[in-house]
Structure 1
Amino acid sequence: MRKLTLISALVLALSATTAVADDVKVLEKTIDAKSFTRLVLDVPVGEIDVKVAEGTEISLVVELEADKNWLGRSSDISDASINVREDGSTLKLKVDLEDDDDVKQSWTVKMPAEMAVALNLGVGSVEVDDLTSDINVDLGVGDVDIKVDTSLYASIELDAGVGDTSIKGGKGRYQQERVLVTSSSELNGSGKAELEANVGVGDIEVRDNQ
């Protein structure tokens, strides 16, 4: 009887392990970006973390985590893959999924500092560190945290429909405006790059990293 109990427990443990594996998937990809000047990333739900890498390659690690519906079933992510599309000098990335609203996507992107980036996210968080290029962030609900050398930027414009915006330690002429639940911050400097971030509901913070 005890032996049967141990066997049953082992079967259950293996079943649980399989279920966890079915609910989580990690995608990895490396792209030679020397012929591209701009990266566009579209993510419905999740997190985007952008860091600087040496050389001309873009390194991607994407962790997918499927949510369970009211019946306790998870979206099928077994066939998920990173969709890479070229549009002139622009590189466009997204994950191909049948039901992407029920899958959390956690992107870690390492890319050349001088490459421009546009990040479009429905719900979640965005973090960008040390880029020296044009940055555009469009977020529906969540928080944005950006650390750059603000002296490299001609303009930094932040807007939150419901939430707060701030630019800390920036070099240049700084303006901030709050009206009821909305907030906007702007910094005009002597650089060449442009940074723009918008969020429907949430907070945006830009910090000078120098």
Structure 2
Amino acid sequence: MKKLLGVAAVGLILTTSQAMAKDSRELNHTFAINNASQLDIDFPVGSLEVQSYDGSEVHVTIRIEPKNDKGWFGSEIDLSDIELNHSQRANLLSLKLDNDDIQQNWLVKMPKSMAIDVELGVGDIEINELSNSVEIELGVGAVRIDSALDDYKRIELESGVGDTKIRGLKNEANTHRKVVSSQSSYQGNGQYNIDVEVGVGDIKVRH
């Protein structure tokens, strides 16, 4: 009897493990940018990592999983029904996945020739080898931008509760702190702009 119970327990563990393993999904998309010069990304909760490269396509990988742990029996959310909304017109490629019930982890590889505009409710944003303009609105989280350029026309960083830093550029940046808030600004002779606003969290731009 004990042996049968042991086998049944192992079977339950295996079944549960398989169910939990299926409790996530990966979305993969590739977009030819044609004449698009700006990429817009909008989602409510998760993380975003952006990499710039010399190319003519935008590659997107999104891992999605339930935001809340439903316990041993997995989530009630059917991840198979969730798809990325995308549209491309004139000079703009827009990507949106508006679902508050899932955690989204984005990895985006985009051409250096594109500017990027991001709206995220809660999460972290990391942009590597930035070579263009960027505009970010983040409710709660952190933003880190590693720039391939050492100069910009203008940089404006604002955090309602948190810290802002600009490091390693040609000119000196100005930072003003008021109790819990922080603002950093930069003026230079570069071609591009950086605008980042965070409600709660830190912002760092460095070359």
**TM-score normalised per structure 1:** 0.89
Q: In 1, Cα distance between the equivalents of 2:141 and 2:124?
A: 5
The change in CA–CA distance for 1:69 and 1:17 in structure 2 (over 3 A counts) is closer
Q: In 1, Cα distance between the equivalents of 2:120 and 2:139?
A: 7
Structure (1 or 2) with the greater strand fraction? 1
Give the aligned residue type for 2:112. Answer: A
The 5-angstrom pairing of residues 41-80 of structure 1 reads 41-68=41-68, 73-80=75-82
Q: CA deviation at 1:90?
A: 0.5
Q: In 2, Cα distance between the equivalents of 1:45 and 1:7?
A: 40
Give the aligned CA root-mean-square deviation in angstroms.
2.0
Give the aligned residue type for 1:143. Answer: A
The 5-angstrom pairing of residues 153-192 of structure 1 reads 153-192=152-191
Look up the SS of the partner of 1:129 in the other structure. strand
Gaps of 5+ in 2: none
Q: CA deviation at 1:19?
A: 2.3
Matched, 1:94 2:96: yes
Matched, 1:136 2:135: yes
**Could you tell me which residue of structure 1 aligns to residue 39 of structure 2?**
39
**Could you tell me which residue of structure 2 aligns to residue 196 of structure 1?**
195
Gaps of 5+ in 1: none
Q: Does the CA-based 8 Å contact 1:132-1:152 persist in structure 2?
A: no
**Could you tell me which residue of structure 2 aligns to residue 106 of structure 1?**
105
**Could you tell me which residue of structure 2 aligns to residue 82 of structure 1?**
84
Q: In 1, Cα distance between the equivalents of 2:192 and 2:142?
A: 22
Q: Does the CA-based 8 Å contact 2:55-2:112 persist in structure 1?
A: no
Identity %: 38
Give the aligned residue type for 2:47. Answer: E
CA deviations 1:46-68 (Å, max 9, x no partner) are: 00000023310111110011033
Q: Does the CA-based 8 Å contact 1:151-1:190 persist in structure 2?
A: no
38-47 vs 68-77, which deviates more? 68-77
**TM-score normalised per structure 2:** 0.91
The change in CA–CA distance for 1:67 and 1:53 in structure 2 (over 3 A counts) is same
Give the aligned residue type for 2:113. Answer: E
Look up the SS of the partner of 2:45 in the other structure. strand
How many residues of Structure 1 are paired with residues of Structure 2 in the alignment? 205
Q: CA deviation at 1:113?
A: 1.2
Q: In 1, Cα distance between the equivalents of 2:156 and 2:13?
A: 52
